[in-house]
């Protein structure tokens, strides 16, 4: 999104980087937490308060081990599914009912899960054979975000889930 729309993310404070720009005529803020994942809700809550944004105008993007590589799932709310970042966001917002886009990274092979755990798997670089799938999914995710910004969440879910 930042590259597509020429938005530069700069350090706002210790908790996040932020960049402001437009999708069409809609003003957007792209936020990248700079905390450990289990504290990422601080960035979301801080921006929500500072910009006086309604919770339904926040889209949280996260990785998801339960989705195959490159699969996207957009939801209006729901459980954190064991994801510590989503858990932090829910705690800081006081609700699990916020829009989210989950980006599938697939499950680690069982031997990797034992040796480095899931954190090691999601933090490792993608392999050369995975990049084409990741690039295509990243573009599709950006398309979904643009559609959501200019339309609505139900329409976005209908068009991009699957």
Q: How does the average pLDDT of the chain come out, rounded? A: 90
CA angle 149, 153, 158 (to 5 degrees): 120
Given a contact cutoff of 8 angstroms between Cβ atoms, the answer to whether 150 and 23 are in contact is yes
Question: What is the pLDDT at residue 8?
Answer: 96
Work out the percent of the chain whose per-residue pLDDT is above 70.
92
Q: What is the pLDDT of residues 62-75, one digit of tens each?
A: 999 889 999 999 99
Q: What is the pLDDT of residues 12-28, one digit of tens each?
A: 788 899 999 999 999 99
Determine the average pLDDT of the residues in 27-41: 90
Residue 68 Rama label (left phi>0; alpha psi -120 to 50; beta): beta
Q: Distance (Å, rounded) from C-alpha 17 to C-alpha 5?
A: 16
Q: Distance (Å, rounded) from C-alpha 32 to C-alpha 93?
A: 17
For the chain, which domains are there?
2-160 (3.40.50.1470)
Residue 92 has pLDDT above 90, yes or no: yes
Determine the average pLDDT of the residues in 26-54: 90
Cα torsion angle, 106, 111, 112, 116, sign: positive
Q: Distance (Å, rounded) from C-alpha 115 to C-alpha 108?
A: 10
pLDDT band, residue 111 (cuts 50/70/90): low
pLDDT band, residue 95 (cuts 50/70/90): very high
């Amino acid at each position: 999104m930042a590259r597509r729309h020429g938005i530069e993310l700069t350090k706002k404070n210790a908790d996040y980087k932020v960049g402001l720009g437009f999708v069409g005529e809609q003003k957007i803020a792209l936020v990248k937490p700079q905390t450990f994942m289990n504290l990422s809700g601080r960035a979301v809550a801080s921006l929500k308060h500072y910009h006086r944004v309604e919770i339904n105008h926040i889209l949280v993007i996260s990785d998801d081990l339960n989705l195959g590589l490159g699969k996207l799932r957009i939801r209006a709310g729901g459980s954190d599914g064991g994801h510590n970042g989503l858990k932090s966001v829910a705690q800081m917002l006081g609700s699990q009912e916020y829009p989210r886009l989950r980006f599938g990274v697939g499950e680690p092979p069982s031997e990797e899960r034992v040796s480095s755990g899931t954190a090691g798997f999601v933090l490792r670089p993608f392999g050369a054979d995975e990049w084409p799938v990741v690039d295509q999914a990243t573009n599709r995710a950006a398309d979904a975000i643009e559609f959501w910004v200019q339309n609505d969440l139900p329409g976005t879910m209908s068009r991009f889930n699957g």
